[in-house]
Amino acid sequence: MRNIGIIFKKQIKDTFKNKTVLIQFVMFPAMTLIMEHCINIPDMPEFFFTKLFAIMYMGMAPLTSVASIIAEEKEKNTLRVLMMANVKPWEYLMGVGLYVWTLCMAGAGVMATGIPAENTPFFLTVMAAGFAVSIVMGACIGIFSANQMVATSLFMPVMLVLSFTPLLALFNDKIEKVAGIFYTQQLRLLLNQMSFDGIKTETVLVVVVNAALAIGLFFAAFRKKGLE
């Protein structure tokens, strides 16, 4: 547990010096606040930008940051130093995962300032679930990548699919049907309802299957590559 805290602290320190990672955590919450306050189109659904950017945030930030962090540590050979200092792989992954999840939740908290207070717990629960699945997916990519370049080429298509299909689904029925298999689309539908009462079995099932697939892939990648 101590080592998880140490990794968490290290990442926090590093974040303030790593603008490329920092911007991923800040960009969507900042854009949400700006757009919600500045743009007002007649007949636009309520909290349109909050819901839209929330899904993009969920599909992008945790996935790319976790994959980049792990890949960078592998590339620079600092991960090996940690492993030789008797930091267990699971401690390292938990530390990084918790750090990304915490920062993303802080960002989601900022986004939630625009919605009514009674909807905040629901919004944050949905975001928390989405971030968790994306973090596991990012960890799969990070484990599988030998360096940052490989990680970028792997997470780019995954990130685009996860974060943009829910957006494209707004304009195209066929894409909407396909997008339904992704947790990001299902969570977008949930955010549209903004209520625990409206949760459908199908939604839960898709999210659970996505999460199970991500976890399965994670263990397969870890077994094959480890953290070396």
Q: Which residue has the tokens 């304009």?
A: 171
Using CB under 8 A, pick the residue from 6, 26, 194, 217 that binds other proteins. 6
CB of 91 to other proteins, least distance (A): 10
From residue 149 to residue 178, the character string flagging contacts with other proteins as x (rule: CB under 8 A) and all else as - is ------------------------------
Binding to other proteins (CB under 8 A) within 64-103 occurs at 76-78, 80-82, 84-87
- Only one of the segments 7-15, 44-52, 101-109, 113-121 lies at the binding site for other proteins (rule: CB under 8 A); that segment is 7-15
Nearer to other proteins, 3 or 120 (CB): 3
Q: 76 or 200, CB closer to other proteins?
A: 76
Contact between 23 and other proteins (CB under 8 A)? no
**CB of 135 vs other proteins, minimal distance in Å:** 21
Q: Binding-site residue total for other proteins (CB under 8 A)? A: 19
**Does 147 help bind other proteins (rule: CB under 8 A)?**
no
b/e map 111-133, b = 16+ CB within 10 Å: bbebbeeeeeebbeebbebbbbb
Told to check if 22 binds other proteins by CB under 8 A, we report no
Q: Which stretch binds other proteins (CB under 8 A): 3-11, 27-35, 48-56, 128-136?
A: 3-11
Spatial separation of the C-alpha atoms in residues 226 and 228, rounded to whole Å: 6
Which CB, 20 or 201, lies closer to other proteins?
Answer: 20
Task: Rule CB under 8 A: say whether 1 interacts with other proteins.
Answer: no
- Site residues, other proteins (CB under 8 A): 2-3, 6, 9-10, 13-14, 17-18, 76-78, 80-82, 84-87
